[in-house]
Amino acid sequence: MSTEKIKIIKDLKINPYPETVPPKTDIGLFLANFQKFLQNKKKVWLMGRVMAKREHGKITFLKIQDWTSSIQIILKEDKVRDYRQVLKILDSGDFFAFYGSAFLPTTKEKSLLAEKWFLAGKSIKNFPKEYYKVKDEELLTRAPYLKTIFYQEEKKVFYYRFKLIEELRKILWEEGFLEVETPILQTHYGGALARPFVTYLEALKEKLYLRIAPEIYLKKMLVGGFEKIFEIGKNFRNEGIDKEHNPEFTMFELYFAYQDRQGLIDFTKKILQKLVKIYNSWQGRRDLKIEYQDKLIDLAKKWQVYEYIELFHKETGLNYFEDDLKKFINLAKKMQIKIQPKIITRGKIADELFKKIIRPKLIQPTFLINHPVEISPLAKLNPKDPRLTLRFQVYLAGFEIANAFAELNDPFEQKQRFEEMARLLKKGDIEAHPYDETFIEALEYGMPPAAGLGIGLDRLLTILLNKRSIQDIIYFPFVRRKE
């Protein structure tokens, strides 16, 4: 890091970090209307980061880049006031504004012929030359701003990420849903089977948890009279980091009063197809296909529907309710799945076997339905078989992207489920659902029949944007701290 240039700049009575800058015209707008600017000779200020500098006698060629695009700036000694001064203080990485008019050099590259300049912000790092960029993957992960400075395709990925979330909101608003907010700091965590982050509130001398899901609070809002609600926000789970998991992730949850499971299945398919259609339209396409890695996924074709128990038996050879627990344990060991001796349950082992053996095969759009009660503590019982629940999951490209069910609104049944989960928690199952008396109390006031849906947006966007891992579409993923 060098501060020599800062001293030179200040000696020239120039502020290296001014508050007010000239009125900026976006480079993308300038390029899109270049012929018009060329003909009417209208002069504008273009502003952005200096990405490259090449001096050629009394002419200097710069490349500057803003959010919208990049352009060549031409500085001529006989045209620019304080030409030598700007060369003295300008480095790659700096933010500069240039005032001038559209110009076509002999190379026919759309350019701005500058007359004036303005330093908008000084970079004091040894900024990499654009030609060499930055190829250090670890550095790009730790300093993602470098990734989106040097790789425009990566900037586009994040642009699409945020635009797709915006479009999802619009879809739900059009369907009559209200966006709401629920606490992130919670006195009782729940709504999923996961290990929470624990914190402490000094003012009340009380232990608090970062939410693992907004589900319990959203259902309390159903009790409170809201009927079609959703929330998009951060969840926090104290778990590992891999291509599908980050301790902090973005979740979308929706609750639909007076809706049943089949109605929600149809609605889930509808909103996913709408989102894919919107994204594909930005690419100039009208289909519902997703190209993910080397797979082609078509959301227009008939979606597969599998029964959990039947698919589990077909792929593992195990009968969920009839085979001895030892058979589950033996297959888990064979598949090198770690199991905790104190909390071995059929459901827990089956869930891990499913993730390892079956999930990678679910490439095309798939609904998985009717999960066992012991792995679905908040779902209504299936009236055709009370060992199962009215739950469904959505799979795409081998990812689980959605979990949903007809919501359990029977306070007696919910209390019994919580008590069973509490026993597992006491045994040492750190992911078991805790007993929540506040939710039981809310259910006792009465909750309307409803269906609820949760979609992991990071996973869904990983597939839509064709990235290898959710770490590639989270701007600030968690990475191990440098020693």
How confident is the model at residue 345, as a pLDDT? 84
Q: In this structure, are 104 and 204 located in the same domain?
A: no
Dist CA 21 CA 66 (whole Å)? 15
How confident is the model at residue 131, as a pLDDT? 55
The answer to the question of residue 345 being in a domain is no
How confident is the model at residue 483, as a pLDDT? 67
The answer to the question of residue 429 being in a domain is yes
Dist CA 252 CA 268 (whole Å)? 12
The answer to the question of residue 313 being in a domain is no
Q: In this structure, are 125 and 186 located in the same domain?
A: no
Going by their DSSP bridges, the two strands 206-210 and 198-201 should be labelled as: antiparallel
Q: In this structure, are 109 and 159 located in the same domain?
A: no
CATH of residue 72's domain is 2.40.50.140
How confident is the model at residue 327, as a pLDDT? 94
The answer to the question of residue 126 being in a domain is yes
Going by their DSSP bridges, the two strands 44-56 and 450-456 should be labelled as: unpaired
Q: In this structure, are 118 and 180 located in the same domain?
A: no
How confident is the model at residue 480, as a pLDDT? 78
How confident is the model at residue 132, as a pLDDT? 61
Cβ atoms of residues 422 and 434 within 8 Å: yes
The answer to the question of residue 354 being in a domain is no
Q: In this structure, are 78 and 174 located in the same domain?
A: no
Dist CA 92 CA 19 (whole Å)? 21
Q: What's the Cα-to-Cα distance from 191 to each of 7, 65, 211, 226, rounded to whole Å? A: 57, 45, 9, 19
The HSE-up count of residue 274 (CA atoms within 13 Å, CB side) is 16
Q: In this structure, are 370 and 276 located in the same domain?
A: yes
How confident is the model at residue 342, as a pLDDT? 64
Cβ atoms of residues 48 and 31 within 8 Å: no
**Phi and psi (nearest 5°) for 149?**
-75, -45
Burial degree of 242 (CB within 10 A; 0-12, 13-18, 19+):
exposed
- Cα distance between the two ends of the chain: 21
Dist CA 147 CA 136 (whole Å)? 10
User: Of 101, 132, 163, which one is at a domain's C-terminal end?
Assistant: 132
How confident is the model at residue 11, as a pLDDT? 92
Q: What's the Cα-to-Cα distance from 382 to each of 257, 389, 422, rounded to whole Å? A: 18, 5, 23
**Phi and psi (nearest 5°) for 406?**
-70, 125
The answer to the question of residue 327 being in a domain is no
Entry pTM: 0.92
How confident is the model at residue 1, as a pLDDT? 43
The answer to the question of residue 122 being in a domain is yes
Q: In this structure, are 44 and 185 located in the same domain?
A: no
Q: In this structure, are 297 and 211 located in the same domain?
A: yes
Cβ atoms of residues 252 and 455 within 8 Å: yes
Task: Indicate the SS3 state at residue 429.
Answer: coil
The answer to the question of residue 393 being in a domain is yes
Q: In this structure, are 32 and 119 located in the same domain?
A: yes
Dist CA 91 CA 50 (whole Å)? 7
65 strand-pairing partners:
49, 70
Show the domain range for 68. 4-132
Q: In this structure, are 412 and 458 located in the same domain?
A: yes
Which residues lie closer than 8 Å to 150 by C-beta, 6 or more apart?
128, 130, 133, 134
CATH of residue 288's domain is 3.30.930.10
How confident is the model at residue 139, as a pLDDT? 77
Dist CA 99 CA 30 (whole Å)? 12
pLDDT tens, N- to C-terminus, the chain (483 residues): 467 889 999 999 999 999 999 999 999 999 999 999 999 999 999 999 999 999 988 999 999 999 999 999 999 999 998 999 999 999 999 999 999 999 999 999 999 999 999 999 999 988 877 656 677 777 788 888 988 999 999 999 999 999 999 999 999 999 999 999 999 999 999 888 889 999 999 999 999 999 999 999 999 999 999 999 999 999 999 988 888 899 999 999 999 999 999 999 999 999 999 999 999 999 999 999 999 999 999 999 999 999 999 999 999 999 999 999 999 999 999 999 887 766 678 888 999 999 999 999 999 999 999 999 999 999 999 999 999 999 999 999 999 999 999 999 999 999 999 998 888 888 888 888 889 999 999 999 999 999 999 999 999 999 999 999 999 999 999 887 776
Spatial CA neighbour of 76 closest among 47, 105, 33: 105
Measured over the CA atoms of residue 456, residue 461, residue 467 and residue 473, the dihedral's sign is negative
Cβ atoms of residues 45 and 28 within 8 Å: no
Which residues lie closer than 8 Å to 159 by C-beta, 6 or more apart?
none
Which of 278-313 are b and which e, b meaning 16 or more Cβ less than 10 Å from the residue's Cβ? bbbeeeeeeebebebeeeebebeeebeebebbebbb
Q: In this structure, are 203 and 68 located in the same domain?
A: no
Cβ atoms of residues 191 and 234 within 8 Å: no
Q: In this structure, are 157 and 284 located in the same domain?
A: yes
Number of domains making up the chain: 2
Dist CA 427 CA 226 (whole Å)? 37
